[in-house]
Amino acid sequence: MTAVWKIYYDYYFLVQLLIWLHFLTNVCQAWLPDSGSKLVNNLKQISSIKFTGNLTHPDYFIVLSQNEHSILLGGRNKVYNLSIYDFNERIQSRIEWPSSEDHSQLCILKGKTEDDCQNYIRILYKPVPGKLVMCGTNSYKPLCRRYVETLNGHYKIEDQFEGIGICPYNPDHNSTTVFSDNQLYSATVADFSGGDPIIYRYPQRTEQLDLKQLNAPNFVSSVPYGEHIYFFYRETAVEYMNCGKIIYSRVARVCKNDKGGPHPPRDRWTSFLKARLNCSVPGEYPFYFDEIQSTSEIINGSYGDSGIQNVIYSALTTPNNAIGGSAICVYKMNDIIGAFQGSFKHQESLNSNWLALSDSMVPKPRPGKCVSDSRLLPERNVNFIKTHSLMEEAVPVHFGQPILIRVSLQYRFTTLTVDPQVRTTDNEAFDILYIGTDDGRVLKVVNIPNGEAAKAVVISENDVLPREIPIKQIKLTSESGRIVVVSRDEVRLVALAHCKSISSCSECVDLQDPHCGWDAKQKACVPMNKVTTRRYIIQDIRQGDKSKCSWTPPTDKFQFGNPSSTREAEVPPNSDKDEDLYPSVNVEDVSDCGNDIDRCAVKQKIAGEPQTLHLIIVAACIGALIVGFLSGFFFSKRFRSSGPYHDAPFFEQHNHLERLNGNQTFSAPRPNKTVNLVLNVRSPTPPLKKDNLDVTKDLNIASDGTLQKIKKTYI
């Protein structure tokens, strides 16, 4: 054991450095083309319509539901009904629901702030037509209300019920709900302090405070698929047995028809299973993007050689304290199902490694399989799944690697939404992604599958909100390119249809935007949804090949002699509902776009010649390599000569921590510490409390098993 630790620490830094260098060189070699965007639009160039609600207090906006004409926006003590065309609020259908005086006073008494002690509406669903259920944080006392629609289109309160386990206490908590087959599934926290995570559908829930099931999760999304409900989230990885803790992305699922176990009260899932999501750049040391931030809906599309598939897009990032890396990974639903059909992970005892369980040890019927009545399951199955909810295999990423990677000191991806399968003139279809960042940007991206692989092209990078504002949610509207962008305190209706700002064929084709095509007859870059016949449209989404522009449309001599010809109607007059809804502006006058959000995107070239950019990046990489090698070499040399570490490997650990923390209290006599730590690792039941108080900073060093113990003792 000691020998292992010794080797581990000897090379710990070096290995870390190597992994980073490997990643950086990969970035340099392979993803340089990814780093650009075809268009860059700053805040002034993007015109949008803004809704701010309450100007003096935080709103914690969330789009609760939407249809073709309106969106329902949850905020502070209110639900707003906005027209999706112009963002005008339909004030007559606003729903007001503040917390009662009692509830908000109790909340203040419990030490929460006045902003906390409001009712932030988080959930809205329609169980049956004409009815509405809403849930809100209600001053840290989650509450739901049933409403019934009255004859004049207003909603009247019917009754209310407790929302614990359904709605979060804190408006900022990362929770998710989905209403499917007449049932509401929620993933949130079920206590005031936020320490009791839960995946719940009345009456079943996950085990309470069982770190093997849920370990400080941040839920991201939930979707029904087949006979299951799938939940996407990130959590502290219980299977990670090295020192420190790490967060992994997960997909978990439960059976819709789970009725609980053989014994009353049957309030626990008998089908809860989870698997890790693998979003990584392959290589000898795969580079992982481990923290999922968002997923799309399930998309049914056609993807190169892999044919028609149900897939889910997700945005993942590196941890907060690492260099900012973000990636878009696509998962096939079939691969997710595959992971749940593989082996289970098994931990023999508290401190042993998690390993694959051999199939002979798995009871029958297979735990986690949906059965017609889970109450008839044998005891053994139900107990098995409680301790084996984690699958051995991680879900592999579709196309073998992320379709898009961004390494940036400025931003990380926070959310994404997909406009699925936008058709082109040659009848191919591509998914368009809108990706939000934590610094107010929206990237419009097209996924281009090619054979087994896929690669995303960034069509435009747009500053939609000021730099300090993270984007929380993006929703599509029925108008292509027009999206709803949600942040905590404001919501914007933004048009990312760039066609009208482009004047030449080569630029139009080069953009690779499936929403735009060059009309060779009209000589204009036109939005595809306004085109009735695709005959004169030049597009090349795959290559952006400008040489196609040399094609000239055939002139038809019989055009005027044939009254039934549809030619005149091929490109419809440029008038549509936009012009009716927005005051029309002079096309040349781009600086003042008024309310016409379609006309304001201006094309800009990215600064710097690509060649220079390339050289700079290569030079930076070589520099990084040299610095990295030297510092690694220096560190290993220095620690090697700095003490009697053959006998006491843990000194090294102390040294590193001391350096990292800059904490002087660590300079206690060495022998004591050694004894402490050795005990901590070796003894099967270490004196936890004492260690904890004694060397708080060393908690990270203890194996995960120890950590768990401590948490449990606390609770």
Ligand X SMILES: *[C@@H]1O[C@H](CO)[C@@H](O)[C@H](O)[C@H]1NC(C)=O
Among 286, 363, 594, 705, binds ligand X (CB under 6 A): 286
Among 90, 263, 523, 690, binds ligand X (CB under 6 A): 90
Give the pairing type, strands 473-476 and 482-486. antiparallel
Among 2, 54, 81, 473, binds ligand X (CB under 6 A): 81
Residue 147 CB, shortest distance to ligand X, in Å, is: 9
User: What are the angstrom distances between the C-alpha of 171 and each of 74, 83, 116, 120, 220?
Assistant: 11, 24, 8, 6, 14
User: In what order do the strands lie in the sheet containing 325-332?
Assistant: 291-302, 308-317, 325-332, 404-407
Rank residues 72 and 495 by Cβ distance to ligand X and give the closer one.
72
Residue 326 within binding range of ligand X, rule CB under 6 A: no
Residue 85 CB, shortest distance to ligand X, in Å, is: 11
Among the residue ranges 257-265, 278-286, 476-484, 495-503, the one whose residues contact ligand X (CB under 6 A): 278-286
Rank residues 107 and 508 by Cβ distance to ligand X and give the closer one.
107
Residues from 403 through 462 that contact ligand X (CB under 6 A): 414
Q: Is the dihedral angle over the CA atoms 463, 465, 467, 469 positive or is it negative?
A: negative
Q: Answer whether 413's CB lies under 8 Å from 294's CB.
A: yes
Helix (H, G, I), strand (E, B) or coil at 474: strand
Q: Answer whether 381's CB lies under 8 Å from 388's CB.
A: no
Instruction: Sort 285 into a burial class: Cβ within 10 Å, 0-12 / 13-18 / 19+.
Output: middle
Rank residues 40 and 292 by Cβ distance to ligand X and give the closer one.
292
For 114-131, the DSSP string reads: TTTSS-BEEEEE-SSTTE
**Residue 500 tokens, joined:** 């009208």
Give the pairing type, strands 482-486 and 39-41. unpaired
Helix (H, G, I), strand (E, B) or coil at 174: coil
Residue 415 CB, shortest distance to ligand X, in Å, is: 9
Rank residues 175 and 676 by Cβ distance to ligand X and give the closer one.
175
Residue 192 CB, shortest distance to ligand X, in Å, is: 14
Among the residue ranges 6-14, 277-285, 524-532, 565-573, the one whose residues contact ligand X (CB under 6 A): 277-285
End-to-end CA distance of the chain: 31
Rank residues 173 and 603 by Cβ distance to ligand X and give the closer one.
173
Residue 394 within binding range of ligand X, rule CB under 6 A: yes
Residue 32 CB, shortest distance to ligand X, in Å, is: 21
Among 293, 326, 374, 512, binds ligand X (CB under 6 A): 293
Task: Please tell me the distance from the alpha carbon of residue 378 to that of residue 367, in angstroms, as a whole number.
Answer: 10
Among 93, 310, 522, 636, binds ligand X (CB under 6 A): 93
Task: Please tell me the distance from the alpha carbon of residue 229 to that of residue 513, in angstroms, as a whole number.
Answer: 34
- Looking at beta carbons, which pairs linking 89-93 to residues 24 or more positions away fall under 8 Å? 89/51, 92/153, 92/154, 93/153, 93/154, 93/155
Residue 414 CB, shortest distance to ligand X, in Å, is: 6
Residues from 15 through 74 that contact ligand X (CB under 6 A): 70, 72
Task: Please tell me the distance from the alpha carbon of residue 708 to that of residue 90, in angstroms, as a whole number.
Answer: 51
Q: How many residues bind ligand X (CB under 6 A)?
A: 19
Residues from 203 through 222 that contact ligand X (CB under 6 A): 218
Residues from 169 through 198 that contact ligand X (CB under 6 A): 172-174
User: How many C-beta atoms lie closer than 10 Å to residue 138's C-beta?
Assistant: 28
Task: Please tell me the distance from the alpha carbon of residue 119 to that of residue 121, in angstroms, as a whole number.
Answer: 6
Residue 280 CB, shortest distance to ligand X, in Å, is: 5
Site string for ligand X, 473-502 (x = CB under 6 A): ------------------------------
Rank residues 378 and 400 by Cβ distance to ligand X and give the closer one.
400
Site string for ligand X, 141-170 (x = CB under 6 A): ------------x-----------------
Residues near ligand X (CB under 6 A) are 70, 72, 81, 90, 93, 153, 172-174, 218, 278, 280, 282, 286, 293, 394, 396, 400, 414
